[in-house]
């Protein structure tokens, strides 16, 4: 079987989506060796992901809307002259506006362009508002990464239920408890950690709700004065407000922003944290929650969107709009070693 997978997210260096596409392709290669995988993307890329791969490069010019237009209209014309059994777009809207002689699979991760339009380019919002329903009528299968995302999708568009399949995101096996003493010592030395810390992982943007994290951390430090907060993630939309909040709360000396870090370091951060706090306002899945639990890290997350579905009974759920509730949950975890152990085991 010949399967084409659109890998633009790798070229774009997209954080969560890039990881999803990379892991999907790696596992397909590992577990379905008889299939011929072809990576379809828009520019040459020296990433080791492409080494030795069968690929088709369809370049774009850097003109307004050019990429979106070419992806949905030109791709089918180009690809219809090549034999494929399946074309899979693993990141939202694919090149399915026109019919092609292959099965078409689309993965929907979330509906943020429609639910939070101000956090996306206007063209992206329009593309989802008017393009997505046309694409949904033409695809053979729609994969949703959670029941919550499926519910959101159906609230906007009348999709045939027979087309929809919920498949939860997986977590790379490397996210696991680390017992290697040398690796632990090296991590503490490299990041100069000799104190207990809380952890947040995600893009610095309003939807991730770092405001509640910072308020809760400020409150909890009155009782746990030796505590620090690590914020791991890239700068996003309106990140300046987060920096302002840190300084206004007077917690700048106790808050460390690392930016993006290698995966092996992220695994160690999860392993050594007292707790992972993730009060996001909306997630289609919430991969960092699953990664933290796989590493045995106690998790405090939101009681809304997909997060209760992903966390199950292994995490403490809080109202993301209430910093006091988040602070109280943190205090419970920090003050109760038995609870911490139970949460580590459940994760």
Residues 155 and 10 both lie in one domain: yes
Cβ atoms of 325 and 319 closer than 8 Å: yes
209: left (phi over 0), alpha (psi -120 to 50) or beta: left
Query: What's the pLDDT score for residue 39?
Result: 92
> How confident is the model at residue 63, as a pLDDT?
47
- Contact between 24 and 90 under an 8 Å Cβ cutoff? The reply is yes
Domain shared by 99 and 192, yes or no = no
On whether both 282 and 322 belong to a single domain, the answer is yes
Residues 157 and 55 grouped into a single domain: yes
| 198 and 327 together in one domain | yes
Q: Is residue 33 within 8 Å of 60, Cβ to Cβ?
A: no
Confidence (pTM): 0.89
CB 92 within 8 A of CB 109: yes
Query: Taking the alpha carbons of 309, 313, 318, 319 in that order, is the dihedral positive or negative?
Result: positive
Question: Which domain CATH number covers 20?
Answer: 3.40.50.2000
Q: CA 111, CA 327: separation in Å to the nearest integer?
A: 29
Query: What is the structure's pLDDT at 74?
Result: 64
Number of domains in the chain: 2
- In terms of C-beta density within 10 A (0-12 exposed, 13-18 middle, 19 or more buried), how is residue 14 classed? middle
Whether residues 33 and 124 fall in one domain? yes
Q: What is the predicted pLDDT for the residue at 98?
A: 57
Q: Residue 18: its pLDDT value, please?
A: 83
What pLDDT does 238 receive? 87
- Structure confidence at residue 336 (pLDDT): 95
Range 104-119 burial, b when 16+ CB lie within 10 A, else e: bbbbbbbbbbbbbeeb
* Same domain (yes/no): 160, 254: no
pLDDT of 42: 79
Assess if residue 176 is contained within a domain. no
- Residue span of the structural domain in which 302 resides: 181-346
The answer as to whether 161 is a domain residue is: yes
Instruction: Catalogue the E-assigned strands of the chain.
Output: 2-6, 36-41, 54-57, 86-89, 103-108, 141-144, 164-166, 197-201, 228-232, 255-259, 275-278, 299-302, 315-318
Instruction: For the chain, list residues with pLDDT below 70.
Output: 14-15, 59-77, 94-99
Q: Count each helix (H run) and each strand (E run) in the chain, helices first.
A: 16, 13
Query: Domain check: are 126 and 236 in the same one?
Result: no
């Amino acid at each position: 079987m010949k399967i084409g997978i659109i890998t633009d997210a790798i070229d774009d260096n997209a954080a969560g989506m890039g990881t999803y596409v990379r892991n999907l392709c790696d596992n397909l290669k590992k577990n379905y060796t008889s299939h011929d995988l072809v990576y379809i993307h828009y520019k040459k890329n020296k990433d080791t992901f492409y080494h030795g791969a069968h690929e088709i490069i369809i370049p774009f010019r850097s003109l307004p809307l050019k990429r979106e237009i070419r992806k949905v209209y030109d791709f089918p014309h180009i690809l219809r002259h090549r034999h494929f059994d399946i074309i899979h777009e693993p990141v939202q809207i694919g090149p399915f506006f026109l019919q092609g002689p292959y099965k078409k699979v689309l993965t929907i991760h979330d509906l943020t362009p429609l639910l939070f339009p101000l956090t996306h380019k206007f063209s992206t919002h329009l593309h989802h508002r008017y393009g997505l329903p046309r694409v949904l009528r033409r695809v053979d299968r729609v994969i949703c990464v959670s029941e919550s995302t499926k519910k959101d999708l159906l609230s906007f568009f009348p999709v045939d239920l027979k087309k929809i399949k919920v498949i939860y995101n997986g977590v790379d096996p490397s996210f696991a408890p680390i017992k290697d003493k040398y690796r632990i010592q090296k991590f503490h030395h490299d990041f100069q950690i000799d104190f207990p810390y809380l952890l947040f992982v995600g893009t610095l943007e309003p939807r991730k709700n770092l405001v509640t994290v910072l308020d809760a951390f400020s409150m909890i430090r009155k009782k746990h004065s030796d505590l620090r907060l690590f914020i791991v993630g890239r700068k996003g939309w309106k990140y300046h407000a987060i920096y302002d909040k840190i300084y206004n709360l007077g917690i700048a000396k106790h808050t460390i922003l690392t930016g993006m870090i290698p995966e092996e370091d992220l695994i160690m951060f999860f392993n050594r944290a007292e707790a992972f706090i993730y009060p996001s306002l909306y997630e289609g899945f919430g991969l960092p929650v699953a990664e933290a639990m796989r590493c045995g890290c106690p998790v405090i997350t939101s009681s809304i969107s997909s997060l209760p579905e992903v966390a199950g009974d292994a995490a403490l759920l809080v109202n993301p709009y209430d910093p006091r509730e988040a602070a109280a949950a943190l205090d419970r975890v920090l003050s109760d070693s038995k609870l911490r152990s139970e949460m580590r085991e459940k994760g």
